[in-house]
Amino acid sequence: MGKAILVLEDGRTFSGEQYGAIGETFGEAVFNTGMTGYQETLTDPSYHRQIVVQTAPHIGNTGVNDEDSESSRIWVSGYVVRDPARRVSNWRARRSLDEELSLQSIVGISGIDTRALTRHLRDRGAMRCAISSVDLDRKSVLAKVAGSPQMAGSDLTGDVTTPEPYTVAANGETRFTVAALDYGIKTMTPHRMAERGITSHILPSTSSLDDVLDVGADAVFLSNGPGDPATADQAVDLVRELLLRQVPIFGICFGNQVLGRALGFGTYKLRYGHHGINQPVQDRLTGKVEVTAHNHGFAVDAPIEGRTATDFGDVEVSHVCLNDNVVEGLRAHDTPAFSVQYHPEAAAGPHDAAYLFDRFADLLGERTVAAKSGTANGGQR
Amino acid sequence: MPKRTDIKHILVIGSGPIMIGQACEFDYSGTQACRVLRSEGFRVSLVNSNPATIMTDPEFADATYIEPLTPEYVEKVIATEKALGHPIDSILPTLGGQTALNLAVNLHEAGVLDKYGVELIGADIDAIQRGEDRQKFKDIVRAIGAEVPASAVCHTLEEATAFAETVGNRVVIRPSFTMGGLGSGMAHNADEVRTQVSRGLAASPVSEVLVEESVFGWKEFELELMRDRKDNVVVVCSIENLDPMGVHTGDSITVAPAMTLTDREYQHMRDVGIAVLREVGVDTGGCNIQFAINPANGKMIVIEMNPRVSRSSALASKATGFPIAKIAARLAVGYTLDEITNDITSATPASFEPALDYVVVKIPRFAFEKFPGADPVLTTHMKSVGEAMSIGRNFTEALGKALRSMETKASGFWTTADIGADGGSLTPGPQFYPSVEELLGIASVPTDGRLYVVEQALRAGASVDELAQATGIDPWFIDQIALITEVGAAVTEAPALTPDLLLKAKRHGLSDRQIAALRPELAGEEGVRRLRHRSGIHPVFKTVDTCAAEFAAQTPYYYSSYDSETEVSAQTERSKVIILGSGPNRIGQGIEFDYSCVHAVMALRDAGYETVMVNCNPETVSTDYDTADRLYFEPLTFEDVLEVVHAEQQSGTVAGVICTLGGQTPLGLAQKLKDAGVPVLGTQPEAIDLAEDRGEFGRVLSEAGLIAPTHGTAVSFAQAKAVADGIGYPVLVRPSYVLGGRGMEIVYDEQGLSSYIANATEIGPDRPVLVDRFLDDAVEIDVDALYDGTDLYLGGVMEHIEEAGIHSGDSACALPPITLGSNVIDQVRDATLKLARGVGVHGLLNVQYALSGDVLYVLEANPRASRTVPFVSKATAVQLAKAAARIAVGSTIAELRAEGMLPRVGDGGELPPDAPIAVKEAVLPFHRFRTPAGDSIDSILGPEMKSTGEVMGFDAVFGTAFAKSQAAAYGSLPSKGTVFVSIANRDKRAAIFPVKRLHDLGFRILATKGTAQVLRRNGVAAEVVGKFSDGPGNIVEEILAGNVDLVLNTPFGSPGNSGPRVDGYEIRTAAVQAGIPCLTTVQAVAAAVQGIEELSRDEVTVASLQSHHLALRAWREGNGQ
């Protein structure tokens, strides 16, 4: 087995074994604490340009199957595991993870003290890093890391969005249609909508207001995705136009940040982010706690308590992470818009927050009823 | 929702004696509950019959009742507390195992809860019934859209066989309302269906069994969930059983977290688990749900749920750092998960799901060697007596640690010889080495140690798939064992053991001892260690932090791993004492030793030391992260302990290690640690050796002017015969190389001696047999004492109820001694002082004496904490283990008397004349075992210990105390009905009076012909009933038909012969099956008759331990002035 090294931008280096493809890769090092769901993690576009450290030591045990990917490819820029599986065991597995990583040219490293690395990232914050199995000279790799791009200030949406619109049809009869802006959407999201009779028209992130309105959808969905939301000015402008028109909006993750910015809030980078499937989020409406899937390095800066007056009326923080009081959801009172920072579509992760898709469908249902009785105050102005 | 203010006084129900299926995990959970509830300001009363628990320490509750866990006694507790002016308004029954839950249901059904206005908290009756009633449970699972195996609830054999026919007779039989899988079994054909169903119907208190389509061979998983009253639910832990369905989860090797599930499969399991929990309606608290998954197509079936804290909950708590019992107690009094802080991070709430960045392996510990004839094949009926857990950064590391935590002959792969083709020992020579096919055949049967066979088969050339096919173990796990095999081969074949290879071996869990076994030229384990240390290879210590390092951990709960970064924090200014625990529970070494270790922690912490605990038993209080200042969850082998000492020395000053409180396990490490330069506190290893060495100990005795029974050693039958002839029969024979009564037997004649020697295969010049004079009719006396080098404190003197010859762990005993005068106690005190001085004790000393014809014989002296320390401490209101820990760090008895830890004057041999009597009774697991043919095994007592646990009966008079002990251990003694009597000739004289008394009390007396003749001559109208060998209408049939309420049978004849001994066996096993008391010694018969007399007066009362201690202290104060 060949050697590999992992070098962090502050110089801390870990020596291990080459895993996946042989080569050299750069990205922001983040740790993910999920104990299941590595296939979903790897294929989640939100991990674009990130090197993911799995805290769970055994990775690859269930191989790779044809059903669980969250997009058409692996997006992580590098992969760090402690003990890769030598043997795949699952009835749905089609190939091993090692094969899949090599096939998709994903450079990884194994056999390092992933807990030490995680503690380092926790204490010092997420940072740039490289994995190399071709250049084992620490100084040389460190110099290259110093020259690699920062995550803060990166606009990555263009890398991950669909080039052409496509449609995911509702299961059975279409009750509603949604125009989904793809900032890096996961496969499970339109699937969750389809389960509730929603047909999704997935649009490139560069779509104009007219492109979106031309779909004639009942609502707009803002997807998850990678990068710094502070760079998403075009998306923010688009959403402000939609808000003006009282178009129902539901956002997830990056979509929450875009909606937040459109409402006038700022965003900021978390020290090491939330990347896991065990995060306690409280729905402030019901007081109930849901265990949720998270994958975000940035968050919305909004007052937790009370309502905030915005250009589009009152807005409140609807969900909060109980670990660290980070804003996990927004709800507008005077316009039909809400969003969450975490992942109700799960994949990977618990299904506790799936009710948000129901809330979305209910919102569309209420509006349809209202529109039919002629009392709707929405629509285009 | 904050704490409830409408309840004030909570009764916590414990789980009673340790037995198979219900061990000290419930001491851990109950102790946590009591602590939490008191800190929340509630008044807490506790009822538990097990004195060896931490929870029954008087400081853990406001009122502690050591009383039988029956509805009658619990009602007395409720009534007594009410009469005392602080009525109990709520009962928490979910932390005391199935015993407490069943008791709660019984109290409800008997109307006791309504009568006293007592509310159940943390559970409701309907939910308990929905969870436990198999049909209701299945309906619930189906209603939420999940799957269950085809099944039928049956009340008769006919119903069951008809259903089994429809699913091809491959079925599992589970009786309703039993614990630990008692009475359950598998059937593969119509005959087996009939046998298993009959057994199951007998085991169920409601004569109900579930007959279920077999999912044998599927993968088995468990989820541990918690719910609060706002309906927040979290999954604390997923557990994957390495052994597939068909082996009881308590007997399976289990792994956390689950290793072979995709997220989709896991989330489906989680969804179904949560839906089941909600539908069953578990109010608040913990619950455990078991699942089976078909590896071929992913089909998932829900097997069962426990609506309470369980053995798996304890494991999950230790595996994740999420304290399920503690949180369950808080939830029961109204808190919600988000209102409770995670202790480990002290920053995040408990409403999350722990993330693990390590692997946990649990391996069960069996004791088949104690039950000759018992079928060692693992089934759905739990047989293990304990377990060890280990934590590693990967599966191979954790597995290696778990295997060496077992403390069996094998300590990991390659440390014992390979097996032969018949599964037994291997005959030397390549032609005898078993073939791959033979090994696959052996591995296909689940047994203790099956993984060793798997490893051997891999070495012999079996493929991972062949083994997965043969065993039903997931190929991922088999491949991990193959990985260990490959690493082993690399170690064996390498020209030299390089640091890289050594590190690789350590990273995959190989112990120094295993490496030494592979590389004989390295001069053993010690040589490997020197090489390893020269290369600078030490493990690092990681933290169990619930969150995979996402947040900083505040709790020093560590495990070792061969990884790169250590997390052991620097100590505070205090110097440290390391306390070695006792490892997995087994017969002879159980909760009593954990009790002493925990007490040492408490005492030393109070005395200003930083305490460090090392143990690998997940069921215990000692492995709770709150107990010691630092916890190392590690195997108790020399290698692992030495590395902990090393890490602790790196981070501060280690005052020393305490080895004398955790039983045989740490004791065995004392000398090695001392030789390695580690300071050993308290009694030194040399003194321990001295007490164990016959010759040396003989010298101590003669110098002290004390005598032991005449004895000799023999290496052949001829020699043994000569010794026995010289001493005179009966003699006690035992091998010299084992402890704890293993292999010990009393032989009454030359024929018995000859068969013993013939069966003792390992006799030889290096392994002599010891032959002692057996003191027939002697009174055995057990003493626990403290010695500090100058003064002796006699902790307590216990008089055995059975005669000498029955292992002290299995015999009932009374304290204060009921028939010993103060002159005898003075003699005992004097002898104990001389022994303590002669041996060089510095701490606790246990001595067993036999009093025969007014002569005091010394049978055995053990300079360590004994099994009876907690019993004596509770009976005499003096905490001996705490005092011993203080003596170990240099305090004197005089100082401890002055500060009040010991009484200012007097000792445990001097108790007030009206002091209540405490009776300890052993609990035996005979009903758990069967021979491969399905017959019961003999329930006879002897010099080898067989009990799993103990209870204490406590009352002002001996008879009642004895009756309480019987009620707590086996169910109440009858106060009327039919008694069957069959007494050995030597006991007939002694039995006449007690049997006559029973007759006078109105019992109908049945007896065998010989016994009946003697009884009739003495005015007892005994009716003759046939022996088992007499054919139809015999006593065995009468017992099984439920026509007998009490059996008095003292065994005679030689084991294995036909005739009277076999008749006795049939009678005793029938009693065990019928669940009626069976007394096998004449002394127990006499004690029971006193108890029955008291019971028939119906004036039995209960009193708290605290009130007893208060009275004792007042008496001592009065005496001192």
What is residue A358's three-state secondary structure? helix
User: How large is the average pLDDT for residues B137-142?
Assistant: 92
- Which chain A residue shows the shortest CA-CA distance from B479? A87
Instruction: Retrieve residue B983's tokens.
Output: 């007494």
Q: Which of B78-87, B135-144, B582-591, B1027-1036 has the lowest mean pLDDT?
A: B1027-1036
Q: Which of residues 444-473 of B touch A (CB under 8 A)?
A: 464
Binned at pLDDT 50, 70 and 90, residue A378 comes out as very low
A348 prior amide bond cis, ω within 30: yes
Q: Pick from A35, A68, A277: which is nearest to B356 by CB?
A: A35
Q: Report the alpha-carbon distance of residue B18 to residue B793 in Å, rounded.
A: 29
DSSP states of B756-783 as a string? HHHH-TT-BTTBPEEEEE--TTPEEEEE
A345 is catalytic: yes
Chain A CB contacts of B270 under 8 Å are 350-351
Residues 6+ apart with CB under 8 A from B849: B780, B781, B782, B783, B828, B831, B856, B857, B858, B859
Instruction: Retrieve residue B10's tokens.
Output: 């909570």
Q: Pick from B257, B552, B565: which is nearest to A35 by CB?
A: B257
Which helix (H) or strand (E) segment holds residue B680: the answer is strand B680-681
Phi, psi of B266 (to 5 degrees): -65, -45
| β B654-658/B680-681 pair status | parallel
DSSP states of B686-699 as a string? HHHHHHH-HHHHHH
Please report, as a single letter, which amino acid is at residue B505: A
Distance from CA of B196 to the nearest CA of A (A): 34
Instruction: Retrieve residue B378's tokens.
Output: 């693992």
- Residues A167-224: pLDDT tens digits? 999 999 999 999 999 999 999 999 999 999 999 999 999 999 999 999 999 999 999 9
User: How large is the average pLDDT for residues B394-416?
Assistant: 95
Calculate the dihedral angle through the C-alpha atoms of A38, A39, A40, A45, rounding to the nearest 10 degrees.
100
Residue B1101: how many other CB atoms lie within 10 Å: 10
Q: Do residue B394 and residue A113 have CB atoms under 8 angstroms apart?
A: no
A321 is catalytic: no
CA distances in angstroms from B382 to A262, B178, B227, B365, listed in the order given: 62, 12, 28, 11
Helices in A125-172 by DSSP H: which ranges?
A: 138-146, 157-160
Instruction: Retrieve residue B13's tokens.
Output: 């129900």
Q: Do residue B353 and residue A86 have CB atoms under 8 angstroms apart?
A: no
SS3 content of chain A, % helix, strand, coil (to 5): 25, 35, 40
Number of H helices, E strands in chain B: 37, 39
- Residues A358-371: pLDDT tens digits? 999 999 998 877 77
Q: Do residue A85 and residue B476 have CB atoms under 8 angstroms apart?
A: yes
Q: Pick from A35, A62, A322: which is nearest to B349 by CB?
A: A322
Task: Assess A33–B contact: CB distance below 8 Å, yes or no.
Answer: yes
- Residues B506-521: pLDDT tens digits? 999 999 999 999 999 9
| Mean predicted lDDT score pLDDT of chain B | 91
Q: CB–CB of B844/B660 below 8 Å?
A: yes
Q: Report the alpha-carbon distance of residue A42 to residue A68 in Å, rounded.
A: 11
Binned at pLDDT 50, 70 and 90, residue B928 comes out as confident
Given A9, A28, A328, A345, which residue is catalytic?
A345
Which helix (H) or strand (E) segment holds residue A243: the answer is helix A233-244
CA distances in angstroms from B871 to B19, B35, B794, B812, B876, listed in the order given: 17, 21, 14, 12, 9
Distance from CA of B474 to the nearest CA of A (A): 7
Phi, psi of B175 (to 5 degrees): -75, 150
Instruction: Retrieve residue A318's tokens.
Output: 């609807």
- Residues B809-849: pLDDT tens digits? 888 899 999 889 999 999 999 999 999 999 999 999 999 99
Binned at pLDDT 50, 70 and 90, residue B1058 comes out as very low
Q: Which of residues 318-337 of A touch B (CB under 8 A)?
A: 322-324
- Which chain B residue shows the shortest CA-CA distance from A118? B549
Distance from CA of A322 to the nearest CA of B (A): 7
The residue behind tokens 């309504």 is B114
Interface test with A, best of B260, B348, B352 (most A CBs within 10 A): B352
B690-729 in b/e burial notation, b at 16+ Cβ within 10 A? bbeeeeebeebbeebebebbeebebeebebbbebbeebeb
- Residues A101-140: pLDDT tens digits? 999 999 999 999 999 999 999 999 999 999 999 999 999 9
User: How large is the average pLDDT for residues B77-99?
Assistant: 95
Q: CB–CB of B692/B826 below 8 Å?
A: no
Task: Assess A57–B contact: CB distance below 8 Å, yes or no.
Answer: yes
Give me Rg for the CA atoms of chain B. Answer: 29
Which candidate, B500, B532, B504, places its Cα nearest to that of B516?
B532
- Residues B848-876: pLDDT tens digits? 999 988 899 999 899 999 999 999 999 99
Q: Which of residues 115-134 of A touch B (CB under 8 A)?
A: 115-116, 118-119, 122
Q: Report the alpha-carbon distance of residue A79 to residue A109 in Å, rounded.
A: 6
Q: CB–CB of B680/B657 below 8 Å?
A: yes
Given A48, A70, A201, A253, which residue is catalytic?
A253
Helices in B281-336 by DSSP H: which ranges?
A: 311-320, 324-332
Beta bridge partners of B390: B361
Residue B868 is given by DSSP the state T
Q: Which of A256-270, B72-86, B418-432, B668-682 has the lowest mean pLDDT?
A: B418-432
Q: Which of residues 357-396 of B touch A (CB under 8 A)?
A: 357-359, 393-395
Distance from CA of A350 to the nearest CA of B (A): 6
- Residues B30-67: pLDDT tens digits? 999 999 999 999 999 999 999 999 999 999 999 999 99
Please report, as a single letter, which amino acid is at residue B1022: A
Distance from CA of B208 to the nearest CA of A (A): 37
User: How large is the average pLDDT for residues B576-585?
Assistant: 96
Chain A CB contacts of B295 under 8 Å are 91
Which candidate, B221, B270, B240, places its Cα nearest to that of A348?
B270
Q: Find how far residue B362's CA is from the centre of its chain.
A: 15
Q: Report the alpha-carbon distance of residue B208 to residue B205 in Å, rounded.
A: 8
Distance from CA of B12 to the nearest CA of A (A): 29
Residue B91: how many other CB atoms lie within 10 Å: 28
Residues 6+ apart with CB under 8 A from A270: A126, A296, A297, A298, A299, A326
B25-39 helix and B324-332 helix, angle to the nearest 10 degrees: 40
Please report, as a single letter, which amino acid is at residue A115: R
Q: CB–CB of B502/B535 below 8 Å?
A: yes
Size of interface A-B (CB pairs under 8 A): 165
Query: Which pLDDT score is estimated for A230?
Result: 96
Q: CB–CB of B511/B404 below 8 Å?
A: yes
Helices in B406-511 by DSSP H: which ranges?
A: 436-443, 450-460, 464-471, 475-493, 499-507
Task: Assess B120–A contact: CB distance below 8 Å, yes or no.
Answer: no
Q: Report the alpha-carbon distance of residue B609 to residue B620 in Å, rounded.
A: 22
User: How large is the average pLDDT for residues B358-382?
Assistant: 90
- Which chain A residue shows the shortest CA-CA distance from B230? A288
Query: Which pLDDT score is estimated for A380?
Result: 41
Query: Which pLDDT score is estimated for B731?
Result: 87
CA distances in angstroms from B13 to B68, B131, B818, listed in the order given: 11, 20, 30
Q: Do residue A58 and residue B394 have CB atoms under 8 angstroms apart?
A: yes
Query: Which pLDDT score is estimated for B1120?
Result: 54
Q: Do residue B479 and residue A67 have CB atoms under 8 angstroms apart?
A: no
Residue B62 is given by DSSP the state S
Q: Pick from B267, B352, B479: which is nearest to A278 by CB?
A: B352
Interface test with A, best of B144, B229, B264 (most A CBs within 10 A): B264
Instruction: Retrieve residue B710's tokens.
Output: 């005449």
Task: Assess B296–A contact: CB distance below 8 Å, yes or no.
Answer: yes
Name which residue leads in pLDDT, B730 or B702: B702
Which candidate, A218, A216, A236, places its Cα nearest to that of A228?
A236
Three-state SS for A138-195 is HHHHHHHHHCCCCCCCCCCHHHHCCCCCEEECCCCCCCEEEEEEECCCCCHHHHHHHH
Q: Do residue A56 and residue B357 have CB atoms under 8 angstroms apart?
A: yes
Instruction: Retrieve residue B268's tokens.
Output: 């489906």
User: How large is the average pLDDT for residues B248-275?
Assistant: 97
Task: Assess B397–A contact: CB distance below 8 Å, yes or no.
Answer: no
pTM: predicted TM-score of the whole model, two decimal places = 0.93
Query: Which pLDDT score is estimated for B742?
Result: 63
Q: CB–CB of A74/A41 below 8 Å?
A: no
